[in-house]
Amino acid sequence: MSDLQLEIKQLIIEALGLEDIGPDDIDAEMTLFGEGLGLDSVDALELGLAIQKRFGFKIDADAKDTRKHFANVASLAVFVTGQKAA
C-alpha cells in the first residue's frame, strides 16, 4: 500500500466519522459507494470537500470522470497524483 493510499484511507475515516473502521479494513480496490464500503451521496460531497482541502485542488463535480475517480481508494490515489502533477 502506498503512503498516498494510506493517507486517503485515513482521510475517508476522519472526514466521514467512520468510528468502527480502520485503514486496514478498507481495501484499495474496494468500491466506496453502494456495495463495498457503502458510502452515499452525502458522503461523496463530504469526501470531495475533504480531498480538496487536504490536497489543495478543485474537483469539478460535474466532470464526466469524477465518478470514476471516486470508485475506490486506488483510483482516488491516481487522481490525486495527477492533480498534484498538473
Q: What pLDDT is stored for residue 8 in this prediction? A: 98
Domain span including residue 77: 3-85
Please give the pLDDT value at position 1: 67
pTM equals 0.93
Please state the length of the chain.
86
Per-residue pLDDT of 9-23, as tens digits, reads: 999 999 999 999 999
47 vs 41: CA distance, rounded Å? 10
CATH classification of the domain holding 60: 1.10.1200.10
Whether 75 shows a pLDDT value over 90: the answer reads yes
Interatomic CA distance for residues 3 and 9, integer angstroms: 10
* Rounded Cα distance, 37 and 70, in Å: 12
pLDDT of residue 17: 97
Name the percent of the chain lying above pLDDT 90. Answer: 87
Q: Comparing 42 with 86, which gets the higher pLDDT?
A: 42
Q: What pLDDT sits at residue 61?
A: 82
What domain count does the chain have?
1
